[in-house]
Structure 1
C-alpha cells in the first residue's frame, strides 16, 4: 500500500464526475491536489476502482456498455498503459502483492494476474450476478459478494469457489472485509445487518444492532475495529461490531453545509480519509478528535450531482418517478426483507413513473438497472 500521506482519487471513489475520466493526486495528505494527464478515447467511461501497490505503481478499473479496461502506471500516475481489455465492465480491482492481483466485473466475471498485471486469466465463479466487492487475505484465500446476495469463498487462488450460506434473505451485500483467514465481515446495504464469521465461513453470526438503517461504507482494520457510514454519520466499533460509537465531526454538522459522504478508507487504525461532496476529511487518530477539512484544488472541480439517479417524490404516496439521462432498462422494488414486489421493464426511457399506491407505508428498496448495465440501489419511503 502507498504511504498514508499519498491519496489517489478515481471516479466516485474520491470524486464524482459525470463523463470526464479524471485522476487527481495528492502527495501531502490532501492539502493540495494535482490533476494528472490521463487520456482515453472513451470519455464516457466509468472509473470504478483504483488500487496502488506503492506510491508509484497503481491500477484503474474502468468500463461501460459491455466494455472493460484495466490501466497501469509505474510512475505515480504520470503515464498509464492499457493492460486488459474485455467485453465486461470491470467493477473492482485489488492486489495482494506486487505480482498477484484480482479484478471482478459484471455478469459474475473475474480475472487474476500473477505477473503484476502484464497478463490476465479469467477465473470461474458460479454466478451471473455482478460482483460488487471482494476481499483477499493472501494470494490463495479470498471472498467475493454478488449484488443479488451471494457470497463466495476461494482457498486456491480462484480456481474453485464455494458458496457461503448466511441464512439470510438479504439480496445486496454492500461490503465484505476479510481481516484474516477465519474472520470476515459482510454488511448489507439496506436493513442494517452485519454478518461475521470467526471460523472461515463454517458458521455466521448476524448483528442487528447497527445504529444506521443504510450502510454506505464499511472498513475494518482488524477483527475488532471498524467503521461504518451512511451519507452523514460515522460510527466506530472496538469490539467486533457488538457496540458502536458515533464520531462527531463539527465540520459535517454545520447547518449551511449539505453533506453527502462518498467513500471511506482507513490506512491503519489511526490514519484515514473520507471524501464527501465538499472535499475531504482526514483523521490521524482514528477519528477521535475533530476533523481536518481538506479542500481540493480548484482545477479538480467536484461535480457531485452531475451523474445522479433522481428518484422523486421520496417519500412517495401514490407514485415514484425515476430519471437517468443515459436511459433506464429495468426498475424493481423490494421489501426490506428482500422480497421482490414490483418489476417494471422499459426500453431505455430517461424518465419512468411507477404507481406505489399498492404498497403499505414503510421502507422499501428500489433497484434501477440502466441501459449501460449499471445498477443504482436506493431507499424508498412509502407514506400513507
Structure 2
C-alpha cells in the first residue's frame, strides 16, 4: 500500500488567486488513459505540500499547506473547508507574540520586553512607554508547514499531522487539531517528515523526524527514540506499513532504506548505495506481488522480491540524475506512476518505458500522488497550486451530457496549454525558451567588445634585493618606474548563434527582467480568471440560479472573461471553445 511523504517546501512563486472552496472543475483534455479533474486550487498565498486519503472512505481527503492550514473535503472534492492547524505567529527577539504595538508602546507593559527593560534599567533609563521590541524589532513571521497527514486505519476520525513544529492530532475527523508532541532535544526533533499508524495495532505509532525515529505504543501520548545506530540521527522521509503483513514496515531515510518485520523490534537494511544521491531514499511504494519501488535523487529502483537487499535494479533510464519525490504502484503491479517537480509519468511495463501524462511548469511543481486502495481510477494528484483527481475515461462526458450546453466545457483548453498560447502570442516566452531565442543569428557576426584600462603611477625604488641570489649580500641601487597607462581592446564572436532561426526572434534584445515582470502579471491574471470562468460555467450549466437576473449576470461575466482571453491570446480561446455558453 503506497503511503505518503512531506517536506519543507519553498513558498509559492505565483500562487493562484482563486479561493480553495470550489466545486469540481471538469478538465477537457484526457492525459494518458484517464482524465484529470481539477477539484480546487490553492488559496491566495498558499502553497500545498501534502495530501492524504482515508483508508476507509475514498471521498474523505485532506490537503496540507506550508502555512499551517489544511483543506478538508468529505464529498470527493465537491466542497472544501479550511482548517487551521496552527496559525501564523509573529517573532520578536525569537519569541512568539501576539502583538498590539500601539497599546504596548503607550503602556510599556513590563514583562513583554524583559531583556530590553532590564537593559534600560541597568543604564539608569526610564522604561515607561518604551517597548521597542514590539514596535520596531520584529524578527519575522513563523510559519508551520504541514509535511505529512496520516489516518488511523481502523478509525479515520483520528488523524495525525506531522509539521515543522511537532506532532498534531485530531479526534473529530480533522475539524480541529491539538499539538501532542514537540520533540525531545531541539528543532530537529520538531521537524516531522513522516507518520505511520499500524494497520493491525492502532495504538502503535511511528514518527519520523529530521533527527531519527520515535515510537509510541499509546497513540502518541508518549514517544521513545529508536537508538539503532543507523537510524538515531538520520532524517526519516517516509514510513510505510504493509497492510498485508503484520508488523512489516518499510522506511525511506537519508542514506538508505530499512525495514522491520516485527513492528520495530529489529531492523534490517534493504537498500544502500555508495553514491550519495542514489542512496538518499525519498519514497517507497509497496505494491502487490512483493513489488517494491523507491525514489531517490538519482532515479527509480525496484525490487520484485519484497525489497530484499541485493535485489534492487534501476527502472527508467530517463530519471538518471533526477529526484523522484513520489511514487505509486497500482493494483496492477506493472502499472506505476512517478512524480517529479515538472511532470507526472506512467509506465505499464514495470518501469521499462515511461510516458509523460501530465506536464507541469510555470512555477507549478508536483507534490503528492495517492490512490484509495492503490486503485488507478481513484488517484489524487497534488501540486503546489491545485488538487486534481482521476476519473475513468468517459465518466466525465456522461456526466456533462445532461445538458446540451455542457459539451462546451469539454472544449475548454487546459490551463497550461492556454497559458503557453498566451505567452507566445504576447511574445513573452518562458525562461527556458527565451534563453535561446535571445541569441539572434545575425548577432553572431557582431563582435562582443571589451575595453580594459589600467594605470600605474610612477615609483622610485631605493632598495632592491638581488633575486635569486638570496644568500649573497643585498645589492643597493636606485630605480625609477615611470607612470604608465595600459589599454586593451578585445573582440570576440559567438558563432554558435548562427544555428538559431531568426524568425523565432520577434523581440530580440528585450530585457529579461522586463519579460519576467510581464510573465508574472499574465500568470496571475490568467490563473485567477481561468478558475473563475470554469467555476462559473459549471455552476451555470449544472446548478443554474433560479433568478433570471443572476443567470444573465453570470453569462455577461463569462463573456467579459472570454473577451479578455481572446485579446491576450489572439482569438485562441474562442477558436477552441466556439464562444461563450
Over the aligned positions, Cα root-mean-square deviation in angstroms equals 4.0
How many Å separate the matches in 2 of 1:277 and 1:134? 23
How many Å separate the matches in 2 of 1:167 and 1:12? 24
With normalisation by structure 2, the TM-score equals: 0.42
Tell whether the 8 Å contact from 1:59 to 1:73 is kept in structure 2 after alignment: yes
How many Å separate the matches in 2 of 1:140 and 1:82? 28
How many Å separate the matches in 1 of 2:246 and 2:296? 28
Question: Alignment length, in residue pairs?
Answer: 283
Tell whether the 8 Å contact from 1:194 to 1:210 is kept in structure 2 after alignment: no
With over 3 angstroms needed to count, the CA separation of the structure-2 counterparts of 1:229 and 1:146, relative to structure 1, is: same
Confirm or deny that 1:182 pairs with 2:247. yes
1:308-327 equivalence runs, <5 A: none
Q: Quick one: which of 332, 340, 347 aligns to 1:276?
A: 340
Give the 3-state SS of the residue equivalent to 1:135 in structure 2: strand
How many Å separate the matches in 1 of 2:173 and 2:322? 38
Q: Deviations over 1:220-258 (max 9, x none)?
A: 3479542112245211122433123435437658xxxx9
How far did residue 55 of structure 1 move? 4.2
With over 3 angstroms needed to count, the CA separation of the structure-2 counterparts of 1:239 and 1:129, relative to structure 1, is: same
Tell whether the 8 Å contact from 2:42 to 2:48 is kept in structure 1 after alignment: no
Give 1:100's aligned residue: 158
Structure number having the greater strand percentage: 1
Tell whether the 8 Å contact from 1:231 to 1:261 is kept in structure 2 after alignment: yes
Give 2:484's aligned residue: none
How far did residue 144 of structure 1 move? 0.9
Q: Deviations over 1:17-56 (max 9, x none)?
A: 534269899898774434334353xx33331211123443
Tell whether the 8 Å contact from 2:12 to 2:45 is kept in structure 1 after alignment: no
How many Å separate the matches in 2 of 1:36 and 1:158? 33
How far did residue 81 of structure 1 move? 0.5
With normalisation by structure 1, the TM-score equals: 0.61
Q: Mind listing any 5+ residue stretches in structure 1 that lack a counterpart?
A: 307-384
Confirm or deny that 1:197 pairs with 2:278. no
Tell whether the 8 Å contact from 1:51 to 1:59 is kept in structure 2 after alignment: yes
How far did residue 268 of structure 1 move? 4.1
Tell whether the 8 Å contact from 2:270 to 2:307 is kept in structure 1 after alignment: no
Give 1:132's aligned residue: 193
Tell whether the 8 Å contact from 2:70 to 2:84 is kept in structure 1 after alignment: yes
Give 2:84's aligned residue: 84
With over 3 angstroms needed to count, the CA separation of the structure-2 counterparts of 1:30 and 1:291, relative to structure 1, is: same
Tell whether the 8 Å contact from 1:235 to 1:244 is kept in structure 2 after alignment: no
How far did residue 283 of structure 1 move? 3.5
Give 1:167's aligned residue: 229
With over 3 angstroms needed to count, the CA separation of the structure-2 counterparts of 1:105 and 1:11, relative to structure 1, is: closer
With over 3 angstroms needed to count, the CA separation of the structure-2 counterparts of 1:289 and 1:25, relative to structure 1, is: farther
Tell whether the 8 Å contact from 1:35 to 1:300 is kept in structure 2 after alignment: no
With over 3 angstroms needed to count, the CA separation of the structure-2 counterparts of 1:203 and 1:39, relative to structure 1, is: closer
Tell whether the 8 Å contact from 2:248 to 2:259 is kept in structure 1 after alignment: yes
With over 3 angstroms needed to count, the CA separation of the structure-2 counterparts of 1:246 and 1:161, relative to structure 1, is: same
Confirm or deny that 1:156 pairs with 2:218. yes
How far did residue 269 of structure 1 move? 6.3
With over 3 angstroms needed to count, the CA separation of the structure-2 counterparts of 1:273 and 1:208, relative to structure 1, is: closer
Give 2:45's aligned residue: 44
How many Å separate the matches in 2 of 1:197 and 1:25? 43
Give the 3-state SS of the residue equivalent to 2:265 in structure 1: coil
With over 3 angstroms needed to count, the CA separation of the structure-2 counterparts of 1:185 and 1:10, relative to structure 1, is: closer
Tell whether the 8 Å contact from 1:176 to 1:184 is kept in structure 2 after alignment: yes
Give 1:242's aligned residue: 309
Q: Relative contact order: is structure 1 or structure 2 higher (C-alpha 8 Å, sep ≥ 6)?
A: 2
How far did residue 181 of structure 1 move? 4.8
How many Å separate the matches in 1 of 2:6 and 2:51? 9
Confirm or deny that 1:33 pairs with 2:36. yes
Tell whether the 8 Å contact from 1:228 to 1:236 is kept in structure 2 after alignment: yes
Tell whether the 8 Å contact from 2:257 to 2:281 is kept in structure 1 after alignment: no
How far did residue 60 of structure 1 move? 1.0
Tell whether the 8 Å contact from 1:143 to 1:178 is kept in structure 2 after alignment: no
1:60-71 equivalence runs, <5 A: 60-64=63-67, 68-71=68-71
Tell whether the 8 Å contact from 2:198 to 2:247 is kept in structure 1 after alignment: no
How many Å separate the matches in 1 of 2:240 and 2:268? 15
Give the 3-state SS of the residue equivalent to 1:117 in structure 2: coil
How many Å separate the matches in 2 of 1:222 and 1:166? 29
Q: Quick one: which of 415, 432, 440 aligns to 1:299?
A: 415
Q: Which is higher, the Rg of structure 1 or of structure 2? A: 2
How many Å separate the matches in 2 of 1:161 and 1:30? 44
Give the 3-state SS of the residue equivalent to 2:165 in structure 1: helix
Tell whether the 8 Å contact from 1:226 to 1:236 is kept in structure 2 after alignment: yes
With over 3 angstroms needed to count, the CA separation of the structure-2 counterparts of 1:140 and 1:47, relative to structure 1, is: same
Tell whether the 8 Å contact from 1:38 to 1:79 is kept in structure 2 after alignment: no
How many Å separate the matches in 1 of 2:156 and 2:307? 30
How many Å separate the matches in 1 of 2:6 and 2:179? 25
